[in-house]
Structure 1
């Protein structure tokens, strides 16, 4: 409401010539008010044509002009009201805002900065600055706290020129002095040129952001897929093991019941025999008492009459022979438990083989030049020099080879061999050494590889030059290798109709892992399919 009344008042007190608020108001005889400069200017130029002069009458002689004091006071109040309204429309500077350099006390937020005065102004002081410097060309910019950076520290002039030779901003004095004959352009022109480059850089950056977002979404989807697959596997495993536990519990109950039944039958027989024995003892004690009494009787006739019946020893029909074994056998129950354990172990090992089997092929670009690969690069033998191409990853000292594929997650594979020399069945990082004649590049002699070395049934485990002696295995035989990469588990098995653990090691794998081999002449190695 206050603003509306001010606008109406301003329209009513506008000069009919310049249509702005009357400055130094004068009123002529017709009653209209004008700016002193406007009315005198019109009379001086005799310019009284057009609609805005329709109320301006021609006076001869020209009347004297006196200042309209009352109107001037009203106009001053109107200006103050307008100034106060403009100030109320402003807001105080908050933390992080540019403050007006002219305000005292609590400062208002700056909206403009002068590159000549090197000051920032709120709305009110900006208007005063414009009034005070009207007619002067002060360069203004949006409020900034970097005014000093825009001024030449040497000449205290505005940096408005860019030197392409030295690639930095200079002022006019710099351009005619130390940057004379340099390739210089206006800062605005250089900004236009560099902005094109910056926009292209931004476009590429935004494109990379989109690509990264796409990769991020794909990775998140992959993670969710992993989680769903893992959850499904866990649920399936839980279901299988729950059924297995129930089956074991049922078998345990059955075995326990079998043992208890055998116990009950044996104890029942023993208790019957105990009763017969106890009864026999009681009969013998009674007979013994009768004999004792007869021995001490004084009646000869009674003695002789009773002697015939008491002098005969008890017969076998009176006291049958009783046989009780002190070693009762529960072999049937024990055998059932043993069979169940063997079946469970066999099941678990077969599941390891079936669920984690990975098919590997040997890499001809890495194999030693005397190693011959055949049958789809799944058979390795020592032979004549092979026509392999030169390759920077080839083994040049030892007869070693790596597979092309790396171990992924949980992996199982089986290896067999022929011959009666030495070989190593190993896993290795691809970063293992290739050249030189020192042991550190041999499988198991460094911290890049883990090796099971076999020779005529004797097995040793090697890693980083350290050796662990292991139990002997039949020669030749089939070896199963199991790796759980994330858990850091490496296991070697002797494989027949069952799997027997040879050695297991726990470590932390830090690089992709590859099946690897080292063989002596006369040895042939085969990667088996299940």
Structure 2
């Protein structure tokens, strides 16, 4: 049998429908042979029961029986193909998870291709017939995959090679001639590429979302870190403030006790004086009483009368009915408490302002003046830290950043988030403007500074008139003349605050600001006024208050 099989052509063992070696071969009445499953599926899709080769039509579907002779010959052919795979042992062994060859009987080797017609995966040796036999060459080979049956149409037992766009599902060629005949469909590869592109776009969006959330985690962690640092500073400042207040209370208590003790000493001294005076009067009155008693015992009328007329007059005495020894300690306590409240209020205000100034100074930044934004009348120092107003307009390029009508200049640095602080010396000036401005501030016409025009600033006019340019302006008054002004901005909080650095006092705060663009430090030394306002505005390094 084996020698006979070697004389036969390999094409004689191929089913003309599936073009593969016969599986359960059957012979129909016209004499042609097919795989039992192949001819059955063929008749299931046809109106008539005909032969795929000679087209002979059978009135009734023939009863199918396995052709044992052809089946044995097909098995012999398969075995001879397996014997030719003696070099299989020299191939690379598979790793866990690889697709295995379905033909290898003992040690399974790694599959190199899967056949969509045979529904079988082959190693390099067992794939050889598909590369040599003309019928097998027409089979659809793909990279090895598991579960090949999932790639076959359940209804037609054909490879799923097309994609129905109407029903959004994979179909075989027979499906396009039956259930999906009028639908829109195309190759799997084309739909794969379209959907893969969408998937890559989706993945890119997901990756961006992941990146954004990781960034948000970092921001939250950084916020927690900053919050912890600020909490430590606030705790230290609070301890300092309350320690100072406790010391002030202790001093006031000591002064009150000393006052009470001094008052008690004065009361005791006054009482001692009254007692001594009363004792002296008692002594004199006792002497008078003794003389009166002695005279009252005289029986001689003449002697009595003579002695009575010569009796010493009564010693002078004081009216003691209104004399009181009393001290009102309640009034002392009330005055002391009132004074303590006033003192504590002032000290608390000063201590809190000092602590607040220390806190904002932690956000100090290095600010320099931007010469490209400076008005032609302004004179900037070489280090861009000082600005004064001259009397002569300089010839400068009129760029879009330059102020043309106002004697203003912006800082070179911009801020669009976070907190920042800087200090400016205003000593010797009679007029100035300080604050921050938005990037879109008008630079080619007169500015009426207010938050509506993108300026958050305070100014000095006439040497003693201070205002916050809040639109309308707010008149500011304080007991001292600021020599150095600190400017603090919390972008997210919408806060702009001004501090008198030398007095460690809050001057004014803009709150509830809605910042939506970059902010720049804003300076105006104002006009020279014939030398009366010639002192420069000076950006100073921040020296933290003690």
Shorter-chain TM-score: what band? 0.5 to 0.7
- Corresponding residue number in structure 2 for 1:356: 360
- Corresponding residue number in structure 1 for 2:508: 504
Match of 2:472 among 443, 449, 466: 466
- Corresponding residue number in structure 1 for 2:389: 382
Q: Residue 401 of structure 2: SS of its match in structure 1?
A: coil
The count of aligned residue pairs is 378
CA distance 1:513–1:285, shift in 2 (3 Å): farther
Match of 2:522 among 494, 498, 516: 516
- Corresponding residue number in structure 2 for 1:426: 435
Equivalent-residue separation in structure 2 for 1:479 and 1:140 (angstroms): 80
Matched, 1:215 2:215: yes
- Corresponding residue number in structure 1 for 2:426: 416
Equivalent-residue separation in structure 2 for 1:360 and 1:215 (angstroms): 28
CA distance 1:379–1:302, shift in 2 (3 Å): farther
Q: Residue 457 of structure 2: SS of its match in structure 1?
A: strand
Equivalent-residue separation in structure 1 for 2:253 and 2:327 (angstroms): 26
Equivalent-residue separation in structure 1 for 2:309 and 2:327 (angstroms): 39
1:281-300 to structure 2, matched below 5 A, reads none
Match of 1:368 among 347, 357, 375: 375
CA distance 1:445–1:238, shift in 2 (3 Å): closer
Judge conservation of contact 2:267–2:325 (CA < 8 Å) in 1: no
Judge conservation of contact 2:424–2:537 (CA < 8 Å) in 1: no
Q: CA deviation at 1:374?
A: 1.0
Judge conservation of contact 1:458–1:470 (CA < 8 Å) in 2: no
Judge conservation of contact 1:379–1:525 (CA < 8 Å) in 2: yes
CA distance 1:368–1:467, shift in 2 (3 Å): same
Equivalent-residue separation in structure 2 for 1:288 and 1:431 (angstroms): 106
- Superposition RMSD in Å: 5.6
- Corresponding residue number in structure 1 for 2:539: 527
- Corresponding residue number in structure 2 for 1:37: 63
CA distance 1:462–1:336, shift in 2 (3 Å): closer
Q: CA deviation at 1:381?
A: 0.8
Equivalent-residue separation in structure 1 for 2:476 and 2:230 (angstroms): 35
Judge conservation of contact 1:255–1:333 (CA < 8 Å) in 2: no
Equivalent-residue separation in structure 2 for 1:223 and 1:474 (angstroms): 37
Q: Residue 380 of structure 1: SS of its match in structure 2?
A: strand
**Bigger Cα displacement from structure 2, 200-209 vs 213-222:** 200-209
Equivalent-residue separation in structure 2 for 1:135 and 1:335 (angstroms): 103
**Bigger Cα displacement from structure 2, 478-487 vs 281-290:** 281-290
TM-score relative to the length of structure 1:
0.54
Equivalent-residue separation in structure 1 for 2:397 and 2:374 (angstroms): 11
1:227-238 to structure 2, matched below 5 A, reads 227-238=227-238
Q: CA deviation at 1:419?
A: 5.2
Equivalent-residue separation in structure 1 for 2:214 and 2:383 (angstroms): 38
- Note the alpha carbon deviations across 1:435-469, whole angstroms, 9 max, x for none: 234xxx23348453343332333314143542333
TM-score relative to the length of structure 2:
0.52
Q: Residue 458 of structure 2: SS of its match in structure 1?
A: strand
CA distance 1:234–1:38, shift in 2 (3 Å): same
CA distance 1:233–1:471, shift in 2 (3 Å): closer
Q: Residue 365 of structure 1: SS of its match in structure 2?
A: helix
CA distance 1:280–1:52, shift in 2 (3 Å): farther
Structure 1 unpaired stretches of 5+? 1-14, 24-34, 54-128, 162-185, 317-321
- Corresponding residue number in structure 2 for 1:160: 184
Q: CA deviation at 1:213?
A: 4.0
Judge conservation of contact 1:16–1:52 (CA < 8 Å) in 2: no
CA distance 1:201–1:382, shift in 2 (3 Å): same
Equivalent-residue separation in structure 2 for 1:141 and 1:443 (angstroms): 67
Q: CA deviation at 1:520?
A: 2.9
CA distance 1:448–1:159, shift in 2 (3 Å): same
CA distance 1:517–1:200, shift in 2 (3 Å): same
